[in-house]
Amino acid sequence: MYSQLMAQSIMYGIFVGSLYGLAAVGFSFIFGVVRILNIAHGELIMLGGYAAFFVFSHYRLDPFLSLPLVAVVLFVLGIALYKLAFSHLVRLNEELRTNTSLLVSFGLILILEQGAVVLFTADERSVVPAYTGWGFEVLGVQLPYFRIGIVIISVLFIFGLQLFLNKTYMGKAIRATAENWESATLMGINIGRMYLISFALASALAGAAGSMVVVGYSINPAMGLEWILKAMVVAILAGVGSIGGAFVAGVLLGVAEAVSAIYLGPYMQLVGLAIFLLVLMVRPQGLFGRQRARV
């Protein structure tokens, strides 16, 4: 019985951790390229969840099917937010840019959260598709289909981003910009455009995460804080700027929390924080990062 409980907890941790990883990838990616610390990334996840909920409520389109649409909507919103709030920061040096972006994104949190309250009210929302209770069992471990789908979607998005960065001209230009923007400029790369596309891609990833969150959890206008804290912990565990590492670190954090819940109950969050502090002390660049985080 104990071994079955442990196996079930590990599987649940993998399911939840894949969402942590997807939430962290966009946050880590934008910092790795633009050196913008966008703590409003959690609010973008929240908006992605509400977009998926709206489409499901009005058009009965399943969140897994509406996910590309939600990602496109958040991509466009990311372009608007970057132009309005962050584009002027790129003229600053990296340290000042990071510090100022922290203040700007804090203001965005207040605006987006209050805007969501006005538009959607403060009530909890969720999407409960007909297949929510479906699944299968392996050696006594329950494997719900929708949670397996979330893991698959998360892996596909992260693999797709890696493929884009390594195999396309624009992706290579973004990597060059993250590596050394001055050298990239000399090579004819439009730095401003790379920053804009990177921010929009990070926003689209947040929208994808929100679409999956609304299936497995309830959403509300204040949920952004919880998810940005998870994203920040995972990103720092992995090494800020490490994309594949962020997913692995998310799964590790999810499993650690799920297993510790057996012994600590609601205090399981302390385990994640303890791991976070330990990694910072022993390996400040993260588990998969270098001394200077790269994409």
Cα(192)–Cα(177) distance, integer angstroms: 10
The answer to the question of residue 264 being in a domain is no
| 253 found inside a domain | no
pLDDT confidence tier of residue 233, bands split at 50, 70 and 90: confident
Q: How many domains does the chain have?
A: 1
Q: How far apart (Å, rounded) are the C-alpha atoms in residues 243 and 239?
A: 9
DSSP letter string over 216-257?
Answer: HS-B-TTTHHHHHHHHHHHHHHH-TT-HHHHHHHHHHHHHHH
Give yes or no for residue 293 having a pLDDT over 50.
no
What local confidence, expressed as pLDDT, does residue 290 receive?
A: 61
pLDDT band at 295; cut points 50, 70, 90? very low
Tokens 């079955």 map to which residue?
Answer: 4
Q: Which of 293, 195, 197, 284 is nearest to 242 (CA)?
A: 293
Those residues whose C-beta lies under 8 Å from the C-beta of residue 244, and which sit 6 or more positions away, are: 158, 162, 288
Query: Per the domain annotation, does 246 fall within a domain?
Result: no
Q: Which amino acid is at 32?
A: G
189-210 confidence digits (pLDDT tens): 899 999 999 999 999 999 999 9
Here the tokens at position 40 are 């409003």
Distance CA 19, CA 251 (A): 8
**Structural domain contains residue 279:** no
Of 63, 270, 88, 105, the residue nearest 196 (C-alpha): 88
Specify the pLDDT at position 110: 93
Amino acid 212 reads: M
Residue with more model confidence, 22 or 276: 22
| CA 134/CA 32 separation, integer angstroms | 39
Q: Is 288 a domain residue?
A: no
How do residues 2-59 score in pLDDT, each as one tens digit?
Answer: 677 788 888 888 988 999 999 999 998 998 888 888 999 999 999 999 999 999 988 8
Q: Which helix (H) or strand (E) holds 68?
A: helix 63-81
Among 11-25, 136-150, 256-270, top mean pLDDT goes to: 11-25
Q: What is the pLDDT of residue 245?
A: 84
Neighbour-count burial for 186-216, b at 16+ CB within 10 Å, e otherwise:
eeebebeebbbbbbbbbbbbbbbbbbbbbbb
Q: What is the pLDDT of residues 108-127, one digit of tens each?
A: 999 999 999 998 888 888 88
Alpha carbon distance 201, 26 (integer Å): 7
**In this structure, is residue 7 part of a structural domain?**
yes
Rounded CA separation 203/80 (Å)? 11
Q: Determine whether 3 is exposed, middle or buried from the number of CB atoms within 10 Å of its CB (0-12, 13-18, 19+).
A: exposed
Domain holding 108, by residue range, is: 2-224
CA-nearest of 8, 288, 286 to 144 is 8
Helix (H, G, I), strand (E, B) or coil at 35: coil
Residue 138 bridge partners (DSSP): 141
The alpha carbon torsion through 66, 71, 72, 74 (nearest 10 deg) reads: 120
In a domain, 238, yes or no: no
pTM: 0.90
Percent of the chain scoring above 90 in pLDDT: 40
